[in-house]
Structure 1
Amino acid sequence: MSKERNITTLPLDGGALCFDFINTVHAWRGVNLHEYLGDYGSLVQWCAKVGILSTKQRKLLQQHAASHPGEAAKALEKIKQVRAVLYHCFAAVAAGRPQQLSETLLQQFNAAITKGLSHIRFAAKGTTLEQGWSHAPTDLLAPLWIVMKSAYDILAQEDSVRIKECPACGWIFLDQTKNNKRRWCNPVSCGSIEKSKKYYQKKKREMEGA
């Protein structure tokens, strides 16, 4: 992970939109050194980075947030709360222990999923029906609805054994390798750091035992 931490340098190692959303903190394990969604403007930047909402939609949200700072702060807080719920739910799935999730967490997760899917609409386009979204142009929670659709798709379509949590930072990712042996969110960053820690600990034990 880059020393200069902002949306521009934020890696997209999740393999799915909802996981990239969860991974908008420096770490879920250990010390969280940076919050990438520090303000609503950062969220709009993130939307542009991952390619959700049109340029016009993002501009309208940015303008509305700027002219209604209290509303924007409240919306961002809600979005972060749901992000935490998503992390805990998918971390439990990654650990193979979803049955240990509290009833409260499951209720919050299901409520967010239901709300997100309720905004989906289909419209005729040529000879088919095309999925779209129905929400007010200034709905500051609009990005969250798209994220929740991604979370639904992952649980409905992907093998749960491919949902993993990085043992170093806690980022959630979808293992898309053929052998399903991927361990780190990023082998260059977290993988190298963890290997260095193990090497240091091994050498320390050897010196203490000498």
Structure 2
Amino acid sequence: MRDPSEERLADAGALLTWLGGSGVGSARDLKRIRSAWRADVARCEAAYCEAITLREAIYEILVARIRRRAPPREALEAFNRMLARTMPAAALAWDSGDVTWNLRPEGDGLDWLKPIIISAAALMTGPRAHRVKQCEDDRGCGWLFVDESRAQNRRWCAMGDCGNRAKAHRHYQRARQNERG
């Protein structure tokens, strides 16, 4: 179970930075969206809230799938509402020698979420869906990851973070037990 108090996308600016770092949209697209959001703060807040709702819906659906349970009805409804609103206008563009999503700040503001919605739907229903796992960190990390290991036995979101911490903790516990015993 993840820690619900951790929010790494504190505001719309952080969301746009994450989108850019994740390769969703060109720098020009993100600059246009940022300008449009500055001009319409209510639209900016609504778009940010939709992105958080989308993230939580994706998370709940994938965690339910990992546990082989039906996802919460609200999560499916939220995801499907956004999917239905974005698919009719899906478009790709050529930008700086690469194919990218064509993102626009017009409309209801969900155009820039298309790549995430479509990617999440493909992950949830595709051949890699059974490889989605939740980090087993005892601190409550809760991150999801796609287990691409050959044996399908990966336990942590990242070996350099949660995995190392868990292994160091086990080593410490064994050393303490050997000292006592």
Query: Under TM normalisation by the shorter chain, which class is it?
Result: 0.7 to 0.9
Unpaired stretches in structure 1, ≥5 consecutive residues: 1-27
Deviation at 1:40, TM superposition (A): 1.2
Q: Considering only aligned residues, what root-mean-square deviation do their CA atoms show, in Å?
A: 3.0
3-state SS in 2 of match to 1:98: coil
In 1, are the aligned partners of 2:12 and 2:45 still within 8 Å (CA)? yes
TM-score (norm 2): 0.78
Alignment partner for residue 107 of structure 1, among 51, 67, 77?
77
User: Whole-Å Cα distance in 2 between the matches of residues 170 and 67 of structure 1?
Assistant: 36
Unpaired stretches in structure 2, ≥5 consecutive residues: none
Once the two structures are superposed, residues 103-148 of structure 1 have per-residue CA deviations (whole angstroms, 9 ceiling, x without a partner) of 232222222222232322479x9xxxx9965755475433322200
The answer for the alignment partner of 1:7 in structure 2 is: none
The answer for the alignment partner of 1:16 in structure 2 is: none
Q: 1:48–1:138: structure 2 CA closer, same or farther, 3 Å change rule?
A: farther
Once the two structures are superposed, residues 62-82 of structure 1 have per-residue CA deviations (whole angstroms, 9 ceiling, x without a partner) of 111122222211221121112
Once the two structures are superposed, residues 153-202 of structure 1 have per-residue CA deviations (whole angstroms, 9 ceiling, x without a partner) of 21332233211111121111111222222221101101122233445556
In 1, are the aligned partners of 2:104 and 2:112 still within 8 Å (CA)? no
Q: 1:134–1:50: structure 2 CA closer, same or farther, 3 Å change rule?
A: closer
In 2, are the aligned partners of 1:89 and 1:98 still within 8 Å (CA)? no
The answer for the alignment partner of 1:166 in structure 2 is: 135
Supply the AA of the counterpart residue of 1:48.
G
In 2, are the aligned partners of 1:85 and 1:105 still within 8 Å (CA)? yes
Share of identical aligned residues, percent?
24
3-state SS in 2 of match to 1:164: strand
The structure showing larger relative contact order (alpha-carbon pairs under 8 Å, at least 6 residues apart) is 1
Supply the AA of the counterpart residue of 1:108.
A
Alignment partner for residue 98 of structure 1, among 63, 66, 69?
69
Q: 1:131–1:67: structure 2 CA closer, same or farther, 3 Å change rule?
A: closer
Q: 1:64–1:154: structure 2 CA closer, same or farther, 3 Å change rule?
A: same
TM-score (norm 1): 0.69
In 1, are the aligned partners of 2:12 and 2:48 still within 8 Å (CA)? yes
After alignment, is 176-185 or 52-61 more displaced?
A: 176-185
